[in-house]
Amino acid sequence: MTAEASECLRAARGGWCASAATSVKPRLLNVCLNDLRFRFLGPRCQVPRHKLSQVRFHISSSMFPLDLINNKKVGIVIGPQNTLQAEFLTYLANTTKVPVITSSATGDTVTQYHVPYFLRACVKGSFQAASIAAFVKSYGWKNVVLVYEDNNYGAGILPSITDALEAVDVHVINRSAIPTSCPGDRIDAELYKLMTMQTRVFIVHMLPADAARLFARASAIGMLTEGYVWMVTDDIGIALDVLPQHTTETMLGVVGFRPYVAKSTRITGFMDRFFTRYRAKYHQDPDVRVAKPTMFQYWAYDVVWAIASATEKSKRPRSLNLGSTTGYMGKLVDDLQPSPAGSELLASIIGGEFYGLAGRFRFVDRHLPVPPYEIVNVIEDKIRRIGFWSPGYGLSAFLNSSTRPGQARRRAKAGQVLRAVIWPGDSITVPRGWDFPANGKILQIAVPVRRDFKVFVKVENPNSSMQSVTGYCIDVFEAAVKKLPYALPFKYMPYDCANSYDKLVSQVYFKTYDGAVGDVTIIANRTRYVDFTVPYTESGVSMLVLARKDEDEPTMWIFLKPLTTDLWIAMVVFIVFTGLVVCTIEKPVNDQVQGSKWKQLNTYFYFAFSTGTSTHDQKFKSLQSKVIMVSWCFVLLVIVQSYTASLSSMLTAKRLQPLVTDPMQLLHKGDYVGYQNGSFVHSMLRRLHFKDRQMMSFSTREEYADALRKGSKEGGVSAIFDETPYINSFLLLYGKDFQKVGPIDRTVGFGFAFPKGSPLVEDLSKAMLNLIEGSEGSDIERKWFGDRILSLDYGSPDTSFSRLSSRSFKGLFIINGCILGLMFLINCSRYAYAKFTAKRKAAAASDGEAQPSTNGNDIPAV
């Protein structure tokens, strides 16, 4: 790096310009003091400033403030410029009670709570952690690498940014510490080490000068190409505007974070005065390039303004000496005397509040509050803004107006995201955040070695060069790998898991293996240690029991079984009631229901039961009777058809009846039960309160069959509990004599296991979903299980019959009952009306006969 570039980078933090002979900070202080004198405090105010030598900082320069405090009698020290200086000056401020204010030491290692006279007029470096974590989460990256300076400044941010990333389920898988001013070959060695890793997302926290060297080396070896993601913290983000062009050319595609300051008339006026003074002094010097003030200079300006405001409000004389710690000179003074005005001045500064160049200036816990952060993208010819992050609103393409005083409200549309990012390699495709390096190792994938159920995983010659790994699970995995958009080199590593699959999962957790492929069930306890892909088999734990054919059951009363007792009773009640209502309606108008009492009784019963079968030969006279019979015939039609179908099924199906249908029966009887050796089902049976003496483990399907045939009383078991895929595999061979009951418990199914945070999980899951939903998944099932593809009910067809109950026809009965009642009420109403009309006619006739006819002469008419 050239000397000119080095000086320009140092300007971003310490006030240097492109030339070592000139700096921004003296001009900045001059502009600020003139603003204070003529615009705020008036011409009477005297604010002397000691002209300090602007030379490069060395560690011994921390002695220079002693000369300022004891010899120059300064009342306040503006500085230090960085965290390294701040660590000494915090002690100095506490001892002398002279307030020390920094506008550029953002490192988190500076302890403020035990140093009351040290103020940070800038934001803490840890504040940006939440914005970086939100950005990483928004793109779905799961792993990142932190690259930082190997000193207190670089390490200070690690806890906060690590916690913020972990809170959004992003893992810091590596921390790369690069010493300050280390030779280029040392940086290259560290970068080559990072290239051999899978992760391609890097977060850089360094000082601008060191970061420029890092990106120059990274660009040279090809680490700023497509697929990489580079993010830089605020110190570098603030310096992006003043970096020379040849430096930014090595950072194309980098995303930076920095505190946001809105454009305002204050900044516009300040910039005009600043550049006017600059050009007036150096317009003839060709070696001087005007450097644009950055956020650090804005904070420095506001610091001087805050000090002058505090001095104006205090009761002490309006003259204050200001000191700056940007040089290397002075002598060590043996005796440090506390400042009498320090406490009063400190309280006045902390209590002050105003709007400065950098926005609202106020102290919260002795530092500036959390600001909104601007997210920028380095492209070819400029620094491009892509969005914001603010504490109350998170990521957005536009900043909410509540964080921008003096600006009009700008509302972001619902769901609006950040603007498009130009990534390294001039790519607009979002990097997936990881890749397999060309010189990376081949993944070691553990596969379980089993004694049986080899249809899932079969390992032959595990300890020889002729090793062969096949099975349904293997085919699913290899088919999913072929669908990945990149090559995935791997090697199968047989693992004997006869005792427990939990040990296989633990080997993945301890990264002995890079993953596990096989019939590994996804359960909650295992997900605490590894990540699983989506399941690719059916789920559940079922019970396997011995079955008996239902051939010897008596069939004399089988015709009653299709209907439940309550339905039979309901039908008889409706038949009788319908017959009664029909007879009542037909009696006045139908000769067939008239006659002697005995004849009427016979007719009633005949009507009642003939309506139940619709075989009566009577001709109904009343309209109400006809409506009732149509409604009742429809009900009978539905019931009879359902009855016929159910009875036919009962008579023709070959049924298997399980000897046990409920695990609680086995528990109460104290019968023995079995499970697969090494399975998690053992712990499940314990949760069901089975005792260890009741449980027996088996390893093969033959052992399953023998134990079930013997039964619990003959040294076997009454039931075997296992996962549904295993039971289905068993029923492929022994489906005639055994039956599955359940599921008894719920599980997710089989999945592939990988270490926590592995990017393979998401990619393989997507590939597996495409595989399962397509025809290829069915082809793999058919290959290993034949045309009788596995299902929850295979091998044990549903032989239970759902008997028809009154609840099944409740709606029909309600409708028919309403029609029946309505017709009965209509008939009663008509009968009552007819009786009433007859009585009126009879009354009128009797009145006419009782009154004799007369003429005008009262002589009876003849």
pTM of the model: 0.60
Residue 354 parent element (H or E): strand 354-356
**What mean pLDDT is predicted for residues 775-793?**
72
300, part of any domain: yes
**What mean pLDDT is predicted for residues 268-279?**
78
Torsion-angle region of residue 374: left (phi > 0), alpha (psi -120 to 50) or beta?
A: beta
**What mean pLDDT is predicted for residues 830-840?**
81
Separation of alpha carbons 303 and 104, rounded Å: 11
Which residue is it, tokens 């969005």?
Answer: 387
715, part of any domain: no
Residues 281 and 201 in one domain: no
* DSSP per residue, 16-35: B-SSTT-BHHHHHHHHHHHH
Dihedral of the CA atoms 261, 263, 264, 269 (nearest 10)? 100
Q: How confident is the model at residue 630 (pLDDT cuts 50, 70, 90)?
A: confident
The pair of three-digit structure tokens given for residue 13, joined into one six-digit string: 């933090």
Residues 105 and 156 in one domain: no
Residues 110 and 133 in one domain: no
The DSSP secondary-structure symbol of 92 reads: H
On the CB side of 293, CA atoms within 13 Å amount to: 27
The SS3 call for residue 547 is: strand
Residues 135 and 108 in one domain: no
pLDDT digits (tens, 9 = 90+) for 390-441: 988 889 888 764 444 443 344 444 344 789 999 999 999 999 888 877 656 7
Residue 613: beta bridge partners?
none
pLDDT digits (tens, 9 = 90+) for 45-95: 444 444 333 322 233 344 555 666 665 566 777 766 666 566 667 767 777
Q: Which of 654-658, 756-760, 798-802, 843-847 has the highest mean pLDDT?
A: 756-760
Q: Which domain holds residue 238?
A: 128-259+373-403
The per-residue pLDDT for 375 is: 96
723, part of any domain: no
**What mean pLDDT is predicted for residues 588-606?**
68
pLDDT at 620 over 80: no
Nearest to 388 by CA among 293, 266, 267, 261: 261
Q: Is 793 exposed, middle or buried (0-12, 13-18, 19+ CB in 10 A)?
A: exposed
pLDDT digits (tens, 9 = 90+) for 577-595: 887 787 777 777 766 666 6
Residues 229 and 132 in one domain: yes
Torsion-angle region of residue 259: left (phi > 0), alpha (psi -120 to 50) or beta?
A: beta
Indicate the number of domains in the chain: 4
Nearest to 342 by CA among 35, 115, 123: 115
Residues 143 and 116 in one domain: no
CATH number of the domain where residue 48 is located: 3.40.50.2300
Which residue is it, tokens 């003939």?
Answer: 610
Do residues 653 and 551 lie in contact, with contact meaning Cβ atoms separated by under 8 Å?
no
pLDDT at 17 over 50: no
The length of the chain, given as a count of residues: 862
pLDDT at 276 over 60: yes
506, part of any domain: yes
The per-residue pLDDT for 57 is: 29
Do residues 301 and 33 lie in contact, with contact meaning Cβ atoms separated by under 8 Å?
no
Alpha helices in 614-738 (DSSP H): 623-652, 663-669, 681-687, 701-710, 724-734
Nearest to 309 by CA among 263, 261, 272, 363: 363
Residue 831 parent element (H or E): helix 810-850
Nearest to 132 by CA among 332, 354, 359, 375: 375
Do residues 748 and 535 lie in contact, with contact meaning Cβ atoms separated by under 8 Å?
yes
**What mean pLDDT is predicted for residues 499-506?**
87
Separation of alpha carbons 462 and 472, rounded Å: 18
Q: Which of 10-19, 29-38, 344-353, 785-794 has the highest mean pLDDT?
A: 344-353
Torsion-angle region of residue 786: left (phi > 0), alpha (psi -120 to 50) or beta?
A: left
Residues 394 and 463 in one domain: no
Separation of alpha carbons 326 and 306, rounded Å: 20
Report cis status (omega within 30 of 0) of the bond before 99: no
pLDDT digits (tens, 9 = 90+) for 360-394: 888 888 888 888 999 999 998 789 999 999 988 88
Q: Which residue has the higher pLDDT, 148 or 612?
A: 148
Residues 270 and 249 in one domain: no
Contacts of 279 (CB under 8 A, 6+ apart): 290
Do residues 543 and 719 lie in contact, with contact meaning Cβ atoms separated by under 8 Å?
yes
44, part of any domain: yes
Burial 599-623 (b: 16+ CB within 10 A, else e): eeeebbebbbebbbeeebebebebe
Which residue is it, tokens 């209502």?
Answer: 581
The per-residue pLDDT for 555 is: 64
Q: How confident is the model at residue 840 (pLDDT cuts 50, 70, 90)?
A: confident
Query: What integer best gives the mean pLDDT of the chain?
Result: 77
Residues 221 and 352 in one domain: no
Residues 522 and 582 in one domain: no
Residues 377 and 255 in one domain: yes
Quick one: the chain helix, strand, coil %, rounded to 5?
Answer: 45, 15, 40
Residue 720 parent element (H or E): strand 719-723
What does the longest C-alpha to C-alpha distance in the chain come to? 163
Q: How confident is the model at residue 527 (pLDDT cuts 50, 70, 90)?
A: very high
The per-residue pLDDT for 846 is: 78
The pair of three-digit structure tokens given for residue 646, joined into one six-digit string: 């159910």
pLDDT digits (tens, 9 = 90+) for 30-43: 666 666 665 554 55
Torsion-angle region of residue 446: left (phi > 0), alpha (psi -120 to 50) or beta?
A: beta
Residues 534 and 566 in one domain: no
CATH number of the domain where residue 767 is located: 3.40.190.10
- Whether the CA torsion 819, 825, 826, 827 is positive or negative: it is positive
The per-residue pLDDT for 217 is: 94
Q: Which residue has the higher pLDDT, 236 or 88?
A: 236
**What mean pLDDT is predicted for residues 541-560?**
73
**What mean pLDDT is predicted for residues 11-21?**
30
Burial 226-259 (b: 16+ CB within 10 A, else e): ebbbbbbbbbbbbbbbbbbeebbebbbbbbbbbb
pLDDT digits (tens, 9 = 90+) for 709-723: 998 888 899 999 998
Q: Among 303, 329, 361, where does a domain finish?
A: 361
Do residues 115 and 94 lie in contact, with contact meaning Cβ atoms separated by under 8 Å?
yes
pLDDT at 522 over 80: yes
270, part of any domain: yes
Residue 218 parent element (H or E): helix 208-220
Report the relative pairing of strands 458-460 and 468-470 from DSSP bridges.
Answer: antiparallel
In the chain, the amino acid numbered 365 is D
423, part of any domain: no
133, part of any domain: yes
